Amino acid sequence: MDKAKLDALAAAGIDTADALERLMGSEALLQRFLRRFLEDGSLDALRAAVAAGDWAAALKASHTLKGMCGNLSMTALYGLFTRQVALLRAEDTAGAAALMPEIEAAYARVAAAVREL
């Protein structure tokens, strides 16, 4: 992966050095996992659950996303999902729902950078 692509991923909130360390330096594996992240349906499930007020399903989807983002060193998204999971566990559904615009924006940045790989 060239420096420009690594820089774009970093600008999108992905700690590429940490991710590559976790993946034993395999850029090909990182690219494959990042692309799979975009194909995962958990964000769609989260959107639908929040829209429907299904907070148990929202917690499940947000927790899943938190784990994926942590494993892929998506620090910005990981932080947002960590906050959302905590809010949902505290039954602050309004606070959890209010994070969705930030989540959507951070996800869009990650998606744009990953699509350029």
User: What are the residue ranges spanned by the domains of the chain?
Assistant: 3-115
Spatial separation of the C-alpha atoms in residues 75 and 84, rounded to whole Å: 14
pLDDT at 95 > cutoff 90: yes
Alpha-carbon distance of 53 to 67, in angstroms, equals 22
| Mean pLDDT of the region 98-107 | 98
For 51, the token pair is 């829209």
How sure is the predictor about 58, in pLDDT bands with cuts at 50, 70 and 90?
very high
What pLDDT does residue 1 have?
Answer: 83
Fold of 3-115: Four Helix Bundle (Hemerythrin (Met), subunit A) (1.20.120)
Helix (H) or strand (E) holding 28: helix 27-39
Q: Alpha helix locations (H) across 41-99?
A: 42-52, 55-71, 75-89, 93-98
